[in-house]
Amino acid sequence: MRQALAPMLFDDHEPDAGEALRTSIVAPAQRSASAEDKAQSKCTADGMPVHSFQTLLQDLRTIALNTVQMGEETCRMMVTAPTPVQQRAFHLLKVPCRA
């Protein structure tokens, strides 16, 4: 799950590019240029805010299932509309999402 969400997270979603920057196998790991850009700009390539895994989970937990009473006999279940960040997370996870 975390690997699928890496483009939205501070995680390096191009670890091979970072690995190519290492001068030897005992040298410290290097971050890819895209990971450095995300860390400095605090924005993803598509302009959304970058999250830690925990803050993204906090954002996702704001989705709620509401029971709406319409008159005395009609009751409907409604899911809150996902934000663009939540929609992107669902897309990366390949989870259907009603917008």
Whole-number Å distance between alpha carbons of 31 and 68 = 48
Indicate the residue type of 1: M
Structure confidence by residue, pLDDT tens digits, 10-68: 887 777 776 777 777 777 777 777 788 888 889 888 889 999 999 999 999 999 999 99
Helix orientation angle between 53-60 and 84-93, rounded to the nearest 10 degrees:
110
What's the average model confidence in pLDDT over 81-89?
93
Domain residue ranges of the chain, discontinuous segments joined by +:
2-93
Indicate the residue type of 99: A
99 pLDDT tier (thresholds 50, 70, 90): low
**pLDDT of 59:** 94
Closest CA to 56 of 26, 28, 89, 17: 89
Return the residue matching tokens 């975390």: 2
Tokens of 56: 């993204």
Closest CA to 85 of 47, 54, 37: 47
CA distances from 83 to 27, 40, 48, 89 (A): 41, 24, 11, 10
Q: Is the pLDDT of residue 8 over 80?
A: yes
Q: Look at the pTM and tell me if it is higher than 0.85.
A: no
